[in-house]
Amino acid sequence: MEEDKKKYLDALRKNNGKLDERALGESLGFSKEYTDELIEALMADEKIEYSAGQNCSYKVKE
């Protein structure tokens, strides 16, 4: 999962709010359920934060 978290985090940085979080995960070959697990893990690691108002509800913490 660590490699997938890094892969998702990198994609989230490049995404710039264009795709929603699940579509972004699917573009990487992840299921919706697995994408939710990755988001939960990245939130717990404090790597991402909730960000309302865009297509994607999460952004990478600076």
Q: HSE (CB half, 13 Å, CA atoms) of 25? A: 19
Q: Phi and psi (nearest 5°) for 59? A: -140, 160
Note the pLDDT of residue 19: 93
Which residues of the chain form beta strands (DSSP E)? 48-50, 58-60
Note the pLDDT of residue 16: 83
pLDDT tens across 6-61, in order? Answer: 999 999 999 988 899 999 999 999 999 999 999 999 999 999 999 887 788 999 99
Q: Minimal CA–CA distance to 27: which of 8, 45, 44, 49?
A: 8
Here the tokens at position 29 are 């070959």
Here the tokens at position 22 are 């699940």
